[in-house]
Structure 1
Amino acid sequence: MYIIELTLKNTPIPLSVQRKSAEDAEEVYKQILAALRGDSQLLELTCERQPDKKVAVFSSEICAVQIYEKSGASAAGKAPGFFAVTQ
């Protein structure tokens, strides 16, 4: 399972949708990047794992997007992303 996660301006909790294949996840990622490069538009995303889960967001409110594979290691409490916290 692959997760596409959006970070929005002035919102502490990210939004995410899931795709079963890497190709489908990459397609959604590219769709979001294209929206970010263009004029502000409304993006509607759905989740394959939970078909009733839908989210709509203006592309001008997105400040980051990441894609990652959901694995057993990430379920152990380590959040995905690019930041590392040392103790």
Structure 2
Amino acid sequence: MFTIDVMLKLAPLPLSVQRKTEEDASALYGQIHEAMKSGTPQLLELTCDRQPEKKICVLTSEVCAVQISEKSGGATSGKQPGFFAALTQTEA
């Protein structure tokens, strides 16, 4: 399972949706990336493969970052994937 985290301006936590395949996750990442590059505000509706009833609509001009991470099936080490984990680990 792949998680796509979307950070919004002035929001303390990311919005997250999941995709079952790397191809689907990369496609969504690309769609968000292109919307950010366009500079034209538009609404983007996101759905989640893990929880199909979970939907969210964001204004692309408010998106400041997007990342993909893979959730492994093994035991977790207690570390969060991505940029926030790197900041936390360097501060400790």
Q: Considering the TM-score relative to the shorter chain, is it more than 0.5?
A: yes
SS of structure 2 residue aligned to 1:44 = strand
Structure 1 gaps, min length 5: none
Q: Which runs of 5+ in 2 are unaligned?
A: none
What displacement does 1:76 show? 3.7
SS in 1 for 2:12: coil
SS at match of 1:52: coil
- Are the equivalent residues in 2 in contact too, given 1:6–1:64 (CA < 8 A)? yes
CA RMSD, aligned part only?
1.6
Q: Could you say if the C-alpha distance between residues 75 and 44 of structure 1 is closer, same or farther in structure 2, counting changes exceeding 3 Å? A: farther
User: Does the residue aligned with 1:33 lie in a helix, a strand or coil?
Assistant: helix
SS of residue matched to 1:4: strand
Question: What secondary structure sits across from 2:72 in the alignment?
Answer: coil
**Equivalent residue for 1:22?**
22
d(CA) in 2 for partners of 1:27 and 1:60?
A: 19
Shift of 1:13: 1.1
**Structure ranking higher in helix proportion:** 2
- Structure 1 stretches of 4+ with a deviation exceeding 6 A read none
TM-score by length of 1: 0.90
- Could you say which residue in structure 2 is the equivalent of 1:13? 13
Aligned length in residues: 87
Q: What TM-score, normalized by structure 2, do the two folds share?
A: 0.86
Q: Report the alpha carbon displacement of residue 80 of structure 1 after superposing the two structures with TM.
A: 1.3
